[in-house]
Amino acid sequence: MVDTQDTHITPLSYSSGKLSILLLNVYLPIDCARNKDEQMYLGKLVSLIDDALQCHICTAGDFNAKPSSEAFKDLEDVLREWDMIVADVSMMPSATFKHVNFP
């Protein structure tokens, strides 16, 4: 585990033989006009990916960015730099189980 001292991005490095993977679990701030933290966290994500020794990187979690928002476009731009894709729930078949709210 890499210590980022930040609960919004948790990196985990795994190596076995020739395979080395960096897993980045994210829970980013809510996307809204008043929230400037989004850019800061994208910067942290960029730094972690830039500094990674692994060639296999998986970034997953809650990005709190609607596909039509500027935050989502920024996220796509950042990930595109490393030939990564965004697999969003809106791209899943309608029968896919996505989320549960408990009272």
**Which tokens sit at 1?**
């585990």
pLDDT the model gives residue 94: 67
Alpha-carbon span 21 to 12, nearest angstrom? 8
Q: Is the pLDDT of residue 100 over 80?
A: no
Looking at residue 77, its pLDDT comes to 87
Contact of 65 with 28, CB cutoff 8 Å: yes
Digit-coded pLDDT (tens) for 23-34: 999 888 876 555
For the whole model, what pTM was predicted? 0.70
Is 90 a residue whose pLDDT tops 70?
Answer: no
At 37-58, the pLDDT tens digits run: 767 888 888 888 888 876 788 8
Backbone torsions φ then ψ of 91, nearest 5 degrees: -90, -10
The residues spanned by each domain of the chain are 9-85
**Dihedral angle over CA of 38, 43, 45, 48, nearest 10:** -160
